């Protein structure tokens, strides 16, 4: 019962956070820090898809090696994150050493040791726009079904936040270009 109350509290808190700011990186960082804490994970991150290069890059990375990780890009379809993006499905790997999809380059570059990963696609209208992941369940446990359900629910909210920020930026850019066009017309 207490677990269910905690989950509902987290979902409510996440919803409140999403409606409180338009600073996407700050919002996602807060959400992922909270999620890391609640899911008893050592690290968490959100990857966004760069459609020009067909790579995934860190939008947010928390944990001990978060800053180092932000410089790394993962090829589409490569690793747990790439597979999750390509397939559009949640992937829960309790021991990455036994999974051939694991992309060791991130660990090599950051000098981090990944043991377990729970990766969830971020989708808007059925299209994958990124991937959220939590790493290394504290206490040498693995992420369970309850963790998956909670993470999927929060990932949906994060996807909406990313999409809203993108729409806001597009609208703001359109407004600025319209103002420039009016100013240019008046000055002509």
- pLDDT score for 39: 85
- What span, in angstroms and rounded, lies between the C-alpha atoms of 186 and 169? 26
Q: Which residue has the higher pLDDT, 7 or 139?
A: 139
- What span, in angstroms and rounded, lies between the C-alpha atoms of 79 and 58? 14
**pLDDT tens digits for range 48-94:** 899 899 999 988 888 877 777 778 899 899 999 999 999 999 999 99
Q: Which residue has the higher pLDDT, 32 or 5?
A: 32
Torsional sign, CA 52, 55, 61, 67: negative
- At 170, the pLDDT band (50, 70, 90 cuts) reads low
Q: pTM of the entire structure?
A: 0.80
* Residues paired with 44 in a beta bridge: 62, 134
* Structural domains of the chain, ranges and CATH numbers in brackets: 2-187 (3.30.450.40)
- pLDDT score for 187: 75
Highest averaged pLDDT of the listed ranges 74-78, 85-89, 138-142, 176-180: 85-89
Q: Which residue has the higher pLDDT, 132 or 162?
A: 132
- pLDDT score for 72: 86
């Amino acid at each position: 019962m207490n677990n269910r109350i905690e989950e509902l509290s987290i979902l409510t808190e996440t919803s409140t956070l999403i409606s409180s700011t338009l600073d996407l990186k700050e919002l996602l960082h807060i959400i992922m820090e909270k999620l890391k804490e609640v899911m008893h994970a050592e690290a968490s991150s959100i990857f966004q898809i760069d459609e020009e290069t067909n790579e995934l890059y860190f939008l947010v990375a928390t944990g001990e090696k978060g800053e180092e990780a932000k410089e790394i890009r993962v090829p589409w379809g490569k690793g747990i994150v790439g597979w999750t993006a390509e397939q559009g499905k949640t992937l829960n790997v309790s021991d990455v050493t036994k999974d051939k999809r694991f992309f060791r380059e991130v660990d090599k570059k950051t000098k981090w040791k990944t043991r377990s990963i729970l990766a969830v696609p971020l989708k808007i209208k059925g299209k994958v726009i990124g991937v959220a992941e939590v790493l290394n369940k504290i206490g040498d446990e693995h992420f369970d079904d309850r963790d998956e359900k909670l993470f999927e629910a929060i990932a949906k909210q994060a996807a909406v936040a990313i999409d809203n920020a993108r729409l806001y930026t597009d609208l703001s850019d359109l407004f600025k270009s319209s103002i420039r066009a009016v100013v240019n017309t008046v000055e002509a």
